[in-house]
Structure 1
């Protein structure tokens, strides 16, 4: 029988190990199908997608490029870090906690070239450029060579003498991986491992797995393959099943072969006519039932177009039947190749119903079990499954192989996939702003906000306040990615009472994926499209995209929230920030400090992957505390040689005009500082408690200003600060 013959051949070629391989393969032929499965076979796709940490879990040998979950081989307990913020001016302090962990994950029992993308709970943790989307202290790759040293972090925790180097095994180590994005637990990780440069032939795979004792078809290659199992047979079994490989032994050794061409022909003259003097039928045909062939076959594989996740190609055959079967192939294929492979296996199952027994003369000893042959008395190609010396003839058991052609049409798809955005983090841009109150109510402290942003992959940054001593104190993290940029044109002055439809301003945003929407009147009334341009707050009706990251803004509301004083102070290159409360933080409140007018705030931000910190400095003016400048200043002669000056007050608690009533004072009392200015020289100062004052003839004479040009300046005195001045030129 074939078992005896192949065992002997294996022993001759490879010693006891080769004999074990030969006996194993021969036994497979005795079971009528090469490498017929016996129980669980090799790696299943699910094994490569679920991370484990069980002791004794097998680590696959990776070829080409694969996506695997790996096995956690070492981990620390969760490390807790607490930070305290707030607590200034009677505000309660807030203590927040963050968690991190350090872990080591084994990926391949064969050396690898590189680790590319990494996913955590299905979300991208590391991009194709090597940038991390979540904060990590350090990341190291141990490629699995025979000279790699123990990992320093593990050695520091376990002791250098108790830390294995894991030579021959590729693994990675994360130091202080932040867990806030994953519910403060270690996420399920998957890795894109590049074990070889480019596709790998089946010959390379078979040779590596058998230490050079088994060859394979060099013309067949896969983008990647994960080999595992109890022995070499289980490791290569998925490839044998999927590609319908046969095994051939010869002077060169053992080799897996495909069915592309016949190794020989069984001619009519080679058939035995008599055995031991008795006439025989040299060829006997038999066939299996059609019901024994599945009506559909599904091939499960790894699809590079799906980020190396599992893909499925399903083919069917016409005719009766209900059974379906499937093949798990832990290899990387394109959809067309996978569909063609599934179709070929279904055709092989259909053609393989036909069997033949041929009794030949001694010339058949030149053919080996596993060879593909042509037979003069039968069409098609046939594989030799058994070869036995029987009496004075050589008995060959053959199974028919599918004929050429019949491949499915190209165009198989990979299916839809929700792919996480893999965009670069980019350098962090930081902006500080001293804003008036942008919501209803009265402020009792300056509103100092910080906005940070970066490239399309930017998420947040760590914030630090630098004190007078130069020490940088961490205060927490920024909010999400703010929409910001710079103005390309200088906006001229305008009116805070009218919608400016004549002018426009062009802005270039920080990144091309940032967007500015248009808004109707109702949306604007609810606060949409509020933006800081320089130091003026504006709203815009229409945002017209004019370039990759450039917008033209029209339908402008100017000088909002009392910033009309800044309307005439614009220039190209000034900063632009879309005001969205959820994307702003108050750094001084986070620090638990109070903002004092005139003090200087120095803030820095460091995002993931930043090589240099972003810095911003702001001298605090306390815009939220300043009373607004009065409006509608007017003067009339009082009939006695003097001038009656009047004005209308505004309020920092009166952004909306409700019922036509006066806006609230919003200060402890109503008080105004009136000044008469001769150029830059103060001529007279007067305090008032109502919105009016008379510059009498006696005052004018005493000041020596009769017939002179002066400027009347009026400021409202607030609870915390003196407001900006409203001015009225006057010739006395």
Structure 2
């Protein structure tokens, strides 16, 4: 505001020169009244990986989050996968890309790497698991680092080993999740110096400190280059230092390290002045408003994002100071440092010049002393010879702040670190869908896992000792599990409201959803239990992945024979929805003994599943509605209604289309496997006279009359028509 006002006034009075002078004075006034001064190197808002010549590599101490620089890379590698193309369906070719590259992280050795972020999402979790396909190798930056074999294969004999540079090498990192480009990467690194950062580590030529020159509350520090002096100046704003020279070299110590015995200075040397010597050289409150009010740092609890903690107390008017410290710490430690820093700065406003007759070699800059007949502790800042003796420049040391301050890091939208768990696989044939091609098999793979961090798996078919890839599952886990108690039989005639199924899902976060009768009629909640297709109305969670499904409609889509048998405990139960994977039938041989395999990121070995219900999707459906009509002459007219695969809704109530090559039936008397008598028919009826029935009883004894529909790919189960006794 003052800048605008004084610029206008200066221009009106003195023209362009007056305007410039007014603007300068106005900026000074605005800064004094409203400005916040920032001291120290500017903290970066999570910089990302770059590849620029001449860019210095930072020195890292403790734990930090860094971006690094790409120092080697290959071209993108393209892979293609062709799917479909059977029975008139168009084929689909998908392309995927991968790349290999190396990233330099630090010019100082580091012990290990932790999490890795790619475009803000986790590429590598805290457990060391990569979230996408690829390999990762880590080199700690020692002087004896070996040449990476992949770089050596690419660059030959001139391949560098990048010794004394900590780096990682990605091999064949899949880029589908990152728009087919190298993502913006940041790395969590852990240096060898552990959880304590000593100031002497930052200055290679300094003596090891005596244990008191430690960055309190800081568990990591980032030095991005520049002079050592500027680095120490930044640290000195928060952790006051004293630099002294000794016979052995440079020594850095904390300016406020209190020893057990603090010497007392002698009385001042009197001077020939009428003014009181002590009061003449004592200044109080000379720098009010200049104390730092806040500290910016990298917050561990917010994934090392820059955060601010402010000191307690009334905010002074005028310019306020905020210190940027490139250190990693938690919110409570940063709040403690910010408050201690401001508290210390306020007490430093009390300054004393103390004259003594001779110099004591045991008292010098950085030492703590007491004054005779005065309270408090004073820090010797400097000394100087004068005409009246030795003048010591003293600053008052702030009293210790007792207790700990409570603080909060604030909200953080950190990406979830879900572990990648092994794949669980189910493979089966299911009844053909509505209006599906009657010549195609409906083969499904249901892949699931315990954690939602599972990213999908590649599917294969076993061919002898080899595996042939047949597709991908996608990243959505199927809702699949097993029965925890046996499931009894059912006549499949109506909804059974009191019947239920107990299912255990492999992951507690997977869930079933309830529906209503209209939902059932539209095909909702279809559950494949063994060889039976069941629909359910209600779903109740019992905790720990246990579910109770009730209101059952059994034997759907021609699976009544399985419902008449029931199911044992441990039978697979898979929800048929868009999370199951439909397999291309042209890639699956028509074999009774076949295994499907899946390989995910967490699968050390292929996960196999036997293909269940082989032939179910094309087998002829059992006829329904058996009827006996007795004619006037006593003959029996046995009738039934045919069914068609894929025609489940039956909207008009008339005969369904014939999906087989021709309409054929086999009616038999006696055992289904080896009937005494069989009648091949091409229409859904059989007439038996009284004499024929008498002959059957006389020749073969009592027995059952049944019918099977003959389909293009096999017979249906038998339907009981009548019984002769």
Q: Do they fold alike, i.e. is TM over 0.5?
A: yes
Moved more, 181-190 or 667-676: 667-676
**2:201, 2:368 → 1: CA distance?**
22
| Match of residue 677 from structure 2 | 683
Moved more, 149-158 or 554-563: 554-563
| Match of residue 650 from structure 1 | 643
- Native 8 Å contact 2:269 2:388 kept in 1: no
- Native 8 Å contact 1:428 1:613 kept in 2: no
- Native 8 Å contact 1:430 1:605 kept in 2: yes
Could you tell me how far 1:672 is from its partner in structure 2?
Answer: 4.1
Among 97, 100, 122, the residue aligned to 2:98: 100
Could you tell me how far 1:180 is from its partner in structure 2?
Answer: 0.6
Could you tell me how far 1:653 is from its partner in structure 2?
Answer: 4.1
Could you tell me how far 1:186 is from its partner in structure 2?
Answer: 0.8
**2:355, 2:529 → 1: CA distance?**
94
Among 192, 199, 203, the residue aligned to 1:209: 203
Cα–Cα, structure 1 residues 538 and 311, in superposed 2: closer, same or farther, change >3 Å? farther
Could you tell me how far 1:481 is from its partner in structure 2?
Answer: 1.7
Could you tell me how far 1:241 is from its partner in structure 2?
Answer: 2.1
| Match of residue 478 from structure 1 | 473
**1:388, 1:77 → 2: CA distance?**
66
Cα–Cα, structure 1 residues 72 and 234, in superposed 2: closer, same or farther, change >3 Å? farther
Among 677, 683, 686, the residue aligned to 1:693: 686
Among 432, 438, 444, the residue aligned to 1:437: 432
| Match of residue 550 from structure 1 | 546
| Match of residue 149 from structure 2 | 152
Cα–Cα, structure 1 residues 618 and 267, in superposed 2: closer, same or farther, change >3 Å? closer
- After superposition, where does 1:311-710 map in structure 2 within 5 Å? 311-363=307-359, 366-376=362-372, 379-405=375-401, 410-439=405-434, 441=436, 443-456=438-451, 457-467=453-463, 470-479=465-474, 480-567=476-563, 568-581=565-578, 583-588=579-584, 593=586, 597-598=590-591, 601-618=594-611, 621-656=614-649, 658=651, 661-662=653-654, 664-667=656-659, 671-679=663-671, 680-689=674-683, 691-697=684-690, 699-700=692-693, 708-710=701-703
Could you tell me how far 1:112 is from its partner in structure 2?
Answer: 1.8
SS at structure 2 position matched to 1:712:
strand
Cα–Cα, structure 1 residues 490 and 266, in superposed 2: closer, same or farther, change >3 Å? closer
Which runs of 5 or more structure 1 residues have no equivalent in the other structure? 1-37
**1:682, 1:185 → 2: CA distance?**
71
| Match of residue 13 from structure 2 | none
Among 137, 141, 159, the residue aligned to 1:140: 137
Could you tell me how far 1:586 is from its partner in structure 2?
Answer: 2.8
Cα–Cα, structure 1 residues 266 and 115, in superposed 2: closer, same or farther, change >3 Å? closer
SS at structure 1 position matched to 2:44:
helix
Cα–Cα, structure 1 residues 684 and 150, in superposed 2: closer, same or farther, change >3 Å? closer
Q: Deviations over 1:308-355 (max 9, x none)?
A: 443332235315425443222222322211101011122233333333
Q: Deviations over 1:216-270 (max 9, x none)?
A: 6256543222233223223444432222334345567422314253798785744
**2:624, 2:344 → 1: CA distance?**
91
| Match of residue 19 from structure 1 | none
Could you tell me how far 1:179 is from its partner in structure 2?
Answer: 0.6
**2:546, 2:670 → 1: CA distance?**
46
- Native 8 Å contact 2:693 2:724 kept in 1: no
Could you tell me how far 1:97 is from its partner in structure 2?
Answer: 0.9
Cα–Cα, structure 1 residues 333 and 40, in superposed 2: closer, same or farther, change >3 Å? closer
SS at structure 2 position matched to 1:505:
strand
Count of aligned positions: 680
RMSD: 3.3
- After superposition, where does 1:48-197 map in structure 2 within 5 Å? 49-136=47-134, 138-160=135-157, 162-196=158-192
| Match of residue 28 from structure 1 | none
Q: Deviations over 1:189-237 (max 9, x none)?
A: 22222213641142xx424532443636256543222233223223444
| Match of residue 199 from structure 1 | 195
**1:267, 1:279 → 2: CA distance?**
24
Cα–Cα, structure 1 residues 115 and 576, in superposed 2: closer, same or farther, change >3 Å? same
SS at structure 1 position matched to 2:352:
strand
**2:643, 2:58 → 1: CA distance?**
74
SS at structure 1 position matched to 2:581:
coil
Q: Deviations over 1:400-437 (max 9, x none)?
A: 44332266x53312223333333332322222110113
- Native 8 Å contact 1:632 1:647 kept in 2: yes
- Native 8 Å contact 2:82 2:91 kept in 1: yes
Cα–Cα, structure 1 residues 686 and 440, in superposed 2: closer, same or farther, change >3 Å? closer
Matched, 1:711 2:704: yes
Could you tell me how far 1:598 is from its partner in structure 2?
Answer: 4.7
**1:500, 1:224 → 2: CA distance?**
64
Could you tell me how far 1:289 is from its partner in structure 2?
Answer: 6.0
- After superposition, where does 1:299-310 map in structure 2 within 5 Å? 299-310=295-306
Cα–Cα, structure 1 residues 345 and 618, in superposed 2: closer, same or farther, change >3 Å? same
SS at structure 2 position matched to 1:566:
helix
Could you tell me how far 1:459 is from its partner in structure 2?
Answer: 1.4
- After superposition, where does 1:225-236 map in structure 2 within 5 Å? 225-236=221-232
Cα–Cα, structure 1 residues 586 and 261, in superposed 2: closer, same or farther, change >3 Å? same
Could you tell me how far 1:705 is from its partner in structure 2?
Answer: 5.9
- Native 8 Å contact 1:247 1:255 kept in 2: yes
TM-score by length of 2: 0.85
**1:62, 1:446 → 2: CA distance?**
60
**1:444, 1:707 → 2: CA distance?**
39
- Native 8 Å contact 2:369 2:377 kept in 1: yes
Cα–Cα, structure 1 residues 40 and 325, in superposed 2: closer, same or farther, change >3 Å? closer
Q: Deviations over 1:600-658 (max 9, x none)?
A: 54322111132110122327744333443222212132232321112233343443354
Which runs of 5 or more structure 2 residues have no equivalent in the other structure? 1-36
Could you tell me how far 1:675 is from its partner in structure 2?
Answer: 0.8
- Native 8 Å contact 2:445 2:583 kept in 1: yes
Could you tell me how far 1:185 is from its partner in structure 2?
Answer: 0.9
Cα–Cα, structure 1 residues 558 and 314, in superposed 2: closer, same or farther, change >3 Å? farther
- Native 8 Å contact 2:432 2:442 kept in 1: yes
